[in-house]
């Protein structure tokens, strides 16, 4: 399904149009909520699909809430996963 989403986007379909088509075809999401523009956008921006991992986006001390770390503290590891092709 992810490959199909990327193909549709490369064919210049909008995130909203892709979500609409998935909902019309009754293709479920992992969370059982309908597809929407934000969910499609999250998939398209997920670097795991091109083979990259990013660590340290958030941190949490014991008994405290998670905090988002600034981008300069992120650890990017490129090419460590097989990209979806």
Tens of pLDDT, residues 17-51: 999 999 999 999 999 899 999 999 999 999 999 99
pLDDT band at 84 (very low <50, low <70, confident <90, very high): confident
Burial class, 26, CB count within 10 angstroms (exposed 0-12 / middle 13-18 / buried 19+): exposed
Residue 85 pLDDT greater than 90, yes or no = no
58 bridge partner residues: 68
Pick from 5, 31, 21: nearest CA to 84 = 5
Show the tokens assigned to 79: 């090419």
Pick from 33, 26, 24, 29: nearest CA to 2 = 29
Q: Look up the pTM and report it.
A: 0.79
Residue 77 pLDDT greater than 80, yes or no = yes
Q: What is the pLDDT of residue 3?
A: 94
């Amino acid at each position: 399904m992810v490959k199909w989403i990327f193909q549709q986007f490369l064919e210049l379909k909008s995130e909203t149009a892709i979500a609409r088509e998935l909902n019309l075809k009754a293709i479920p999401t992992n969370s059982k909520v309908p597809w929407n523009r934000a969910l499609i956008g999250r998939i398209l921006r997920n670097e795991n699909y091109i083979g990259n991992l990013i660590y340290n986006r958030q941190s949490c001390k014991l008994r405290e809430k998670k905090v988002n770390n600034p981008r300069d503290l992120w650890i990017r590891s490129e090419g460590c996963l097989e990209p979806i092709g």
